[in-house]
């Protein structure tokens, strides 16, 4: 079996997670893929199981105890933005840089989707424009499974390898129930990125601010000097925030305040912001700034503004405490595969960030799939194959 076959098989499973559900996993359909994967691991001769939260754990025992024990994680669920049911994938052989027509309505050109330019000459897997593809992160699963299967077939020397396939990453609950006692490794990797020359170990520090604004409702005909319209206060608050520090005006290592939702009536309004910054001190400043903005509004409108601020996740780099063994190992493997390793400060979070905070260092590798979460998602078969090679080098060759 090839990584391509595995990938095409896994994307036939509808594994969309549900942000509104509080059960674990958030949707029971994710369990169908979980059981399939545990079964495949058992067929490879691995110890494998699915726990009650839907997490698949599998172990390949060491053939050479002197090699480090390593973990590999990928998530089974797909994003809520677009359905991942009845994915009808199509293969384009030897892509030549042209506009790809997905269906009557949707096309993608390298001008609008520049990742295509890096895939000229590759065989691509694309959608029919009605669903997402599921490369995020079934490509990660296919790559890990293929690498381990090859290592067994080719009898390559390896340390202990643990795999975990998790549900609900896309709804921010990927490692909520992750059992680190079942995953005893020196360090681990998520295989959940895009470009395959990347090894990423920096991500945002993240907090959420919910601001509740109390108004005072009175019949609008008799409201002079009495009514306090919570929606208008909310709008005043929004105007008081920095205009240029938003996702639409920032890139690279610049942080932002993002107004995620606003709801309002005269009686009450609710604003939800997320705060993001790679730099810890600037992140602290962002939170202080949010508090001071609310205080200013309360000085003008006493007792009307209520702030709830909570941290969501942190930049993994600060929890690595300078231990770069996992990054060096990956860089060596990427070089060995003929590529120049690159590290980018991710403008988001990863499951690995939360695992690193819990004590398991876990940077992120690429998958060779791009434009995740929508109909323009695509995979390069050659890049997935190369990624299998990289994972094998990480496990076997040092
Ligand atoms: Zn992902």
Give the distance (Å) from ligand 1 centre to CA of residue 107: 24
Task: Please give the pLDDT value at position 56.
Answer: 98
Give the distance (Å) from ligand 1 centre to CA of residue 165: 12
- Among 14, 169, 192, 197, the active-site one is 169
Task: Please give the pLDDT value at position 350.
Answer: 85
- Residue 164 has a CB neighbour count (10 Å cut-off) of 26
Tokens of 179: 């059992």
Asked about 118 being catalytic, the answer comes back as: no
- 278-324 residue pLDDT tens: 999 999 999 999 999 999 999 999 999 999 999 999 999 999 999 99
Residue 192 has what DSSP assignment? -
Domain with CATH 3.30.70.360 in the chain: 205-313
Distance (Å, whole) CA 304 – CA 209:
16
Tokens 């995979």 locate to 379
- 58-96 residue pLDDT tens: 999 999 999 999 999 999 999 998 999 999 999 999 999
Percentages helix, strand, coil for the chain (3-state, rounded to 5) are: 30, 25, 45
CATH of domain 205-313: 3.30.70.360
Q: Which CATH number fits domain 3-202+315-396: 3.40.190.10, 2.60.40.10, 3.40.630.10, 3.40.50.150?
A: 3.40.630.10
Give the distance (Å) from ligand 1 centre to CA of residue 170: 7
**What pTM did the predictor assign?**
0.91
* Mean pLDDT score, 235-251: 97
Asked about 169 being catalytic, the answer comes back as: yes
- Among 14, 40, 77, 170, the active-site one is 77
Helix (H) or strand (E) holding 235: helix 230-240
Distance (Å, whole) CA 138 – CA 132:
12
Give the distance (Å) from ligand 1 centre to CA of residue 293: 34
Domain with CATH 3.40.630.10 in the chain: 3-202+315-396
């Amino acid at each position: 079996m090839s990584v391509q076959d595995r990938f095409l098989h896994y994307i036939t499973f509808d594994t969309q997670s549900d942000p509104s559900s509080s059960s674990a996993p958030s949707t029971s359909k994710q369990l169908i893929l979980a059981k399939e994967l545990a079964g495949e691991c058992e067929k490879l001769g691995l110890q494998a199981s699915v726990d009650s939260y839907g997490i698949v754990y599998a172990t390949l025992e060491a053939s050479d105890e002197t090699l480090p024990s390593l973990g590999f994680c990928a998530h089974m669920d797909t994003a809520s933005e677009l359905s991942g049911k009845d994915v009808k994938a199509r293969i384009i052989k030897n892509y030549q840089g042209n506009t790809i027509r997905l269906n009557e309505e949707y096309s993608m050109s390298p001008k609008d989707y520049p990742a295509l330019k890096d895939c000229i000459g590759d065989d691509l897997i694309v959608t029919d424009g009605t669903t997402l593809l599921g490369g995020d992160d079934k490509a990660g699963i296919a790559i890990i499974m293929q690498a381990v299967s090859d290592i067994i077939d080719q009898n390559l020397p390896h340390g202990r390898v643990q795999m975990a396939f998790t549900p609900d990453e896309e709804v921010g609950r990927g490692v909520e129930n992750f059992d680190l006692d079942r995953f005893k490794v020196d360090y681990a990797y998520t295989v959940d990125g895009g470009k395959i020359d990347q090894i990423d170990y920096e991500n945002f520090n993240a907090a959420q601010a919910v601001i509740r604004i109390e108004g005072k409702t009175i019949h609008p005909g008799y409201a002079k000097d009495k009514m306090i319209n919570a929606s208008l206060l909310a709008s005043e608050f929004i105007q008081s925030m920095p205009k240029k520090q938003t996702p639409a005006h920032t890139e690279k290592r610049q942080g932002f305040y993002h107004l995620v939702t606003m709801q309002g009536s005269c009686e009450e309004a609710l604003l939800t912001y997320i705060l993001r910054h790679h730099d810890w001190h600037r992140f602290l400043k962002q939170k202080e700034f949010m508090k001071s903005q609310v205080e200013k509004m309360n000085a003008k409108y006493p007792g009307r503004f209520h702030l709830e601020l909570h941290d969501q996740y942190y930049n993994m780099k600060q929890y690595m405490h300078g231990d770069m063994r996992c990054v060096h190992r990956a860089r060596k493997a990427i070089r060995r595969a003929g590529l120049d390793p690159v590290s980018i400060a991710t403008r988001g979070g990863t499951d690995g960030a939360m695992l690193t905070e819990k004590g398991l260092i876990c940077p992120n590798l690429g998958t060779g799939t791009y434009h995740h979460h929508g109909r323009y998602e695509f995979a390069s078969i050659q890049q997935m194959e190369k990624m299998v090679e990289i994972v094998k080098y990480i496990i076997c060759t040092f």
